[in-house]
């Protein structure tokens, strides 16, 4: 109901079975927990069974684990004209793997509006089934923060940084968790929304 993505239904079933068998299970969250936990759940870092709330790809905490990922991670991309989708996919995947971020936590991809007809970028976002948003140079320039500036990029598209500014803007002024990563004319940055966990009573 809160829009989180489960690691798998099999994991969820195993977690539920463990609660029934043991009478309790742990909860580990990378985000602040607000309000009381439901009966049978306790905050824990290890144990037989537990629920992990994270955007990470791998979190070895419980022996039986169900992972719930909020969809709050935003990818900003800049690319040279004519960059193939496969090259963008390779670099985005490499950046996510290095940062231990799960694709299940990705909310969208963003870039500057002059890339609105960039075939490789459009094909990449479509293949991943991630929404693709474009911002104007003025919108990107208005984003507050300390970004990796490039005079060449500013002369070319009107803003000193595309990927970092786009990621932060898409995340509603969240936190830049991966700064500009460059490879063969492709730049990638990642930002995460501010998020709190609250269990419905």
Please report, for the chain, the start and end positions of each structural domain, with discontinuous segments joined by +.
5-69, 73-192
Q: What is the CA radius of gyration of the chain?
A: 19
CA atoms of 48 and 19, how far apart (whole Å)? 10
Q: What is the mean pLDDT of residues 4-21?
A: 87
Residue 79 banded pLDDT, cuts 50, 70, 90: very high
Residue-wise pLDDT tens digits, 87-136: 999 999 999 999 999 999 999 999 999 999 999 999 999 999 999 999 99
Q: What is the mean pLDDT of residues 160-169?
A: 98
Residue 20 banded pLDDT, cuts 50, 70, 90: confident
The CATH code of domain 73-192 reads 3.30.420.180
Closest to 137 (Cα-Cα) out of 117, 114, 121: 114
Residue-wise pLDDT tens digits, 30-47: 999 988 888 888 898 888
pTM of the model: 0.93
CA atoms of 95 and 6, how far apart (whole Å)? 22
Q: Using a pLDDT cut of 90, give the percent of the chain over it.
A: 75
Does residue 145 contact residue 160 with C-beta atoms inside 8 Å?
no
Closest to 105 (Cα-Cα) out of 201, 7, 1: 7
**Where do the H-state alpha helices sit in 99-183?**
119-128, 137-141, 151-157, 163-170
Closest to 27 (Cα-Cα) out of 61, 71, 69: 61
CA atoms of 24 and 45, how far apart (whole Å)? 14
Does residue 63 contact residue 44 with C-beta atoms inside 8 Å?
no
Q: Using a pLDDT cut of 70, give the percent of the chain over it.
A: 100
CA atoms of 102 and 70, how far apart (whole Å)? 10
Q: State the number of CA atoms in the 13 A half-sphere of 71 facing the CB.
A: 14
Q: In the numeric block, which tokens belong to residue 99?
A: 């940062």
The predicted structure's pLDDT at residue 40 = 84
Closest to 92 (Cα-Cα) out of 129, 124, 59: 124
CA atoms of 163 and 124, how far apart (whole Å)? 16
31 - beta bridge partners? none
Residue 95 phi/psi, 5-degree rounding, is -65, -45
């Amino acid at each position: 109901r809160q829009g989180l993505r489960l690691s798998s239904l099999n994991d969820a079933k195993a977690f539920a079975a463990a609660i029934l068998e043991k009478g309790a299970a742990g909860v580990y969250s990378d985000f602040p927990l607000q309000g009381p936990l439901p009966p049978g759940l306790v905050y824990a870092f290890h144990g037989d069974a537990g629920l992990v709330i994270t955007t990470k790809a791998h979190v070895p905490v419980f022996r039986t684990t169900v992972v719930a990922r909020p969809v709050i991670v935003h990818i900003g991309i800049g690319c040279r004209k004519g960059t193939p989708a496969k090259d963008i996919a390779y670099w985005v995947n490499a950046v996510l793997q290095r940062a231990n971020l799960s694709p299940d936590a990705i909310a969208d991809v963003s870039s500057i509006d002059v890339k609105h007809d960039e075939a490789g970028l459009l094909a990449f976002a479509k293949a991943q089934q991630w929404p693709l948003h474009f911002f104007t140079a003025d919108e990107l320039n208005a984003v507050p923060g300390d970004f990796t500036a490039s005079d060449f990029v500013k002369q070319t598209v009107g803003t000193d940084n595309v990927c970092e500014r786009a990621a932060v803007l898409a995340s509603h002024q969240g936190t830049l968790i991966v700064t500009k990563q460059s490879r063969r004319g492709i730049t990638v940055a990642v930002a995460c929304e501010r998020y709190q966990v609250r269990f419905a009573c």
